Amino acid sequence: MGSLKETQPANGVKRKRDEGKVQPSPLQQKRLKLLATRKLLPIWSHQKEIRDALKENDVLVLSGETGSGKSTQIPQFILSQPWCTGKIAVTQPRRVAAISLARRVAEEMGTPLGSSSPASKVGYSVRFDESTSPSTRIKFLTEGMLLQEMLRDATLGQYSCIVVDEVHERSVNVDLILGFLRGLLASKRKKPIKVVVMSATADIQGISWFFAAPSPSVENVENFTGNANGHTIGTEETPVKSPISAEERQISICHVEGRQYPVKLDYLASPTEDIMEAALHRIFQIHCKEPMPGDMLVFMTGQETIQGLQKLVEEYAQGLTADYPKILVLPLFAALPQAAQQRIFQPAPPNTRKVILSTNIAETSVTVPGVRFVVDTGKVKVKQFRNRLGLDSLLVKQISKSSADQRKGRAGREGPGQCYRLYTQEAYQTLERDTIPEILRCDLSEAILKMKARGTDDVLGFPFLTPPPREGMERALLQLLQLGALEDTGRISEVGRKISRLPLTPSLGRVIIEAAKPEMDCLLETIDIVACLSVENIFLNIDTEEAREQAQTARQQLLRRQGDHLTLLAAVRAYAAEHSDRRRWADDHLISHRAMQSVMDVRKQLIAQCIQSKLLDKAPGNDRSRATEDRATDEATQERILKCFLRGFSNNIARLCPDGSYKTFVGNQTVTIHPSSVLFGRKVEAILYNEFVFTNKAYARGASAVQIRWLEEIFG
Ligand code: CDP
């Protein structure tokens, strides 16, 4: 055979002259290979039905089990439709899902990903990271980013179709998006927009009703139980109190049967108190008794428990004899940097079993390949807002039956699997049927500010899928008023507009605005702290007294007696100033290098955002960390920094009482300083804290010492 000469690649295709044959480029080869896999997906045979439904109707509500192909295939099915001349947005609750889906769909389409090439057709946009090109047609983006785009263009004019994925999770953002889209469908937009709403649970009649009816009452939406077997429903007789014109709308419903192998269930015979111990025990029991292959997916509550368990599993795994396969522990939680998250999608090395320790992120949002064993602790960490107390607390709660079933399903995607529930069968029976929508249990101030910034002034009249309690709405309006985000009339203020452009909660946004004031002059320092607070925890978990002492010594240089905010600042500054070996620096200080990388990322993005919003003139130079280090430790600057935080967190202040306890100003609730805090065990006049965590006690986490005198100065 003669040597092969390649001509210039044209349209991604290389020609080998002497054979006269067309040799596909690597991208195209991959595309062709994946096409075979795509054709096996349950959704593939519904292609025509889905296209027809969208040709005739504006709204398609689609249910199908996780893994049936909804997120990856739907945008590709509709891309070439004559009505689809603009872009397609696909929203995701989590950044990791948005990025990994974009990567997968780009591969399936044989196009480069995001900003890597001007010809790329698939991109993504997540908070602090946008990767698109001038040719982007399909954009995976987090719900928050779509809402952010609505600030620039409330009509979402560049899109022909919005695909709202994972609605069963019922995040607040999804509920807002659904409400806005309902308005948009009824509006006089230049080009009509199509909406696809997708859910992993079959319980979608309420949503179709919401779109079909001009103003469904809550009872109707929640109690509606029809079957969702691929038929088109018409509009219903409905009340007329809606701000949206009562245009009649046809909604298509489609249900895709999943491909699920049988999963054997195992419960505990009696309840356990120690979830860590039970999980550890179960992991090794499976590993040692069950032959390969088959990876394990363990559902934990959050970063701390995941990292704690990771350490234990790795320690025990070292003691395994060579008769057993190796164990590769991979954590998965939202705050994990992207590169680390992507590792879970890669196959394990030979003779190794992956053990993925995940939050509920892997429940429906992210599909981890290779999993045959699921260990379910039955717990989830949720934010719960208590309107009366005005306190946001992070609670570890029992999951719902629907979550438990989703978790179980993860074991049966590629073959028969096993699911080990670390609770009893009786306990399962007592679980709630569905997860409570976030809008019923969250602080509504962010949601309300989002509505106001997008032109919805009458927030009480907003078309909510599930209207939140009025008390919560009123409280949130009051808080926004306190933050200065609203005028007395209830309209959004200039400060409110500035806050709404920042990818932060109204409280943190307010802190940034305050810090940018000339008289406060501490924006860069504040950005560093806010960046840390946006990443779950930079300090590695400390669980024993001995480890605590060790950490105290290792972190001595960084600890600031005023508390956690300034300690975080010192940590960021020291890390940024380290130019030789940052990983080693992090290890030496018992700080998570991964978390610090995320902090640096967020910090960069926040600076860019502040420049864009004219809060900052220009980006600081490279020598900034060293040059400003001294200033950051200067007492007056420190005081101003804490005052800025007070301005944004006026509800998170507690004073020392004569009995030695701390009581909140709002609600008079007793709080204890969290053991992870620099202030733990110390008595100061008053504390300001970042969050309120309720585990066995009410803990204030991320606490700093403040003076009552400052409060008088700020709030009068
Ligand atoms: O949305 P749904 O859960 O119904 O399915 P999907 O996310 O479209 O996934 C369909 C298939 O694509 C999965 O079973 C995986 O084999 C593959 N996939 C992948 O390899 N990587 C991803 N990031 C997402 C999906």
How many Å apart are CA 145 and CA 166, to the nearest integer? 15
Q: What is the mean pLDDT of residues 260-273?
A: 93
Q: Which of 651, 126, 176 is nearest to 447 (CA)?
A: 176
Residue nearest to atom 12 of ligand 1 (CA): 69
Q: Pocket of ligand 1, candidates 43, 72, 366: which has the most ligand atoms within 8 Å of its Cβ, to mutate?
A: 72
135 with 118: CB under 8 angstroms? Answer: yes
Binned at pLDDT 50, 70 and 90, residue 197 comes out as very high
**pLDDT(413) > 70:** yes
Q: What is the mean pLDDT of residues 386-415?
A: 82
| Look-up of token digits 């946001």 | 392
Q: Tell me, in angstroms, the distance from the centre of ligand 1 to residue 218's CA.
A: 33
**464-512 pLDDT tens trace:** 999 999 989 999 999 999 999 999 999 999 999 999 999 888 999 999 9
| Residues lining ligand 1, Cβ inside 6 A | 41, 64, 66-73, 100-101, 104, 367
Q: Tell me, in angstroms, the distance from the centre of ligand 1 to residue 66's CA.
A: 8
Residue nearest to atom 19 of ligand 1 (CA): 104
Binned at pLDDT 50, 70 and 90, residue 387 comes out as low
Q: Which of 67, 127, 136 is nearest to 94 (CA)?
A: 127
Question: What's the pLDDT at 391?
Answer: 59
Residue 613 amino acid letter: S
Q: Report the sign of the C-alpha dihedral through residues 271, 272, 275, 278, in that order.
A: negative
Interaxial angle between packed helices 506-515 and 523-534, expressed in degrees from 0 to 180 and rounded to the nearest 10: 160
Binned at pLDDT 50, 70 and 90, residue 563 comes out as very high
Residue nearest to atom 7 of ligand 1 (CA): 71
How many Å apart are CA 527 and CA 509, to the nearest integer? 10
Question: What's the pLDDT at 542?
Answer: 66
How many Å apart are CA 208 and CA 252, to the nearest integer? 8
Least confident of 244-253, 442-451, 509-518, 562-571: 244-253
Q: What is the mean pLDDT of residues 597-625?
A: 83
693 with 685: CB under 8 angstroms? Answer: no
Three-class DSSP category at 427: helix
Q: Tell me, in angstroms, the distance from the centre of ligand 1 to residue 69's CA.
A: 6
Q: Tell me, in angstroms, the distance from the centre of ligand 1 to residue 199's CA.
A: 14
Burial of 5 (0-12, 13-18, 19+ CB in 10 A): exposed
Question: What's the pLDDT at 192?
Answer: 86
Q: What is the mean pLDDT of residues 689-706?
A: 87
Question: What's the pLDDT at 555?
Answer: 86
**pLDDT(244) > 80:** no
Binned at pLDDT 50, 70 and 90, residue 225 comes out as very low
Q: Tell me, in angstroms, the distance from the centre of ligand 1 to residue 254's CA.
A: 19
How many Å apart are CA 645 and CA 629, to the nearest integer? 20
Percent of the chain with pLDDT over 70: 88
Least confident of 132-136, 231-235, 277-281: 231-235
The alpha carbon of 229 is separated from its chain's Cα centroid by a whole number of angstroms, namely 31
Interaxial angle between packed helices 445-453 and 494-501, expressed in degrees from 0 to 180 and rounded to the nearest 10: 110
Question: What's the pLDDT at 667?
Answer: 84
Question: What's the pLDDT at 434?
Answer: 86
Q: Tell me, in angstroms, the distance from the centre of ligand 1 to residue 258's CA.
A: 12
**Phi, psi (degrees; rounded to nearest 5) at 95:** -65, -40
Q: Pocket of ligand 1, candidates 46, 104, 124, 345: which has the most ligand atoms within 8 Å of its Cβ, to mutate?
A: 104
Q: What is the mean pLDDT of residues 626-638?
A: 69
Q: Indicate which atom in ligand 1 lies nearest the CA of residue 37.
A: 16
Residue nearest to atom 13 of ligand 1 (CA): 67
Q: What is the mean pLDDT of residues 407-416?
A: 91
Q: Report the sign of the C-alpha dihedral through residues 133, 139, 144, 150, in that order.
A: positive
Three-class DSSP category at 141: strand
Q: What is the mean pLDDT of residues 354-364?
A: 91
Measuring CA to CA, how many Å separate 31 from each of 68, 101, 110, 133, 656? 19, 15, 5, 20, 64
**pLDDT(241) > 50:** no
How many Å apart are CA 113 and CA 45, to the nearest integer? 27
15: left (phi over 0), alpha (psi -120 to 50) or beta: beta
CA angle 274/278/283 to nearest 5° reads 150
Least confident of 81-85, 125-129, 151-155, 183-187: 125-129
564 with 679: CB under 8 angstroms? Answer: yes
How many Å apart are CA 586 and CA 1, to the nearest integer? 56
Least confident of 312-321, 385-394, 504-513, 536-545: 385-394
pLDDT, mean over the chain: 86
Contacts 24+ apart (CB under 8 A), 343-349: 344/368, 345/100, 345/369, 348/295
Max mean pLDDT range (137-146, 242-251, 664-673)? 137-146
Binned at pLDDT 50, 70 and 90, residue 117 comes out as very high
Question: What's the pLDDT at 313?
Answer: 97
Tokens of 331: 């954590």
Q: What is the mean pLDDT of residues 240-268?
A: 74
Q: Which of 272, 603, 582 is nearest to 423 (CA)?
A: 272
Q: Which of 344, 307, 365, 352 is nearest to 538 (CA)?
A: 307
Three-class DSSP category at 374: strand
Q: Tell me, in angstroms, the distance from the centre of ligand 1 to residue 104's CA.
A: 8
Question: What's the pLDDT at 282?
Answer: 97
Q: Indicate which atom in ligand 1 lies nearest the CA of residue 64.
A: 4
59 with 211: CB under 8 angstroms? Answer: yes
Between these two residues, 42 and 394, which has the higher pLDDT value?
42
Measuring CA to CA, how many Å separate 191 from each of 40, 58, 137, 159, 160? 35, 12, 16, 9, 8
How many Å apart are CA 459 and CA 498, to the nearest integer? 19
Q: Tell me, in angstroms, the distance from the centre of ligand 1 to residue 275's CA.
A: 30
* Neighbouring-strand partners of residue 90: 140, 163
Residue nearest to atom 6 of ligand 1 (CA): 69
Binned at pLDDT 50, 70 and 90, residue 392 comes out as low
Q: Cis before residue 42, ω within 30 degrees of 0? A: no
Tokens of 656: 């020392």
Q: What is the mean pLDDT of residues 371-393?
A: 80
Q: Indicate which atom in ligand 1 lies nearest the CA of residue 68.
A: 4
Q: Tell me, in angstroms, the distance from the centre of ligand 1 to residue 364's CA.
A: 10
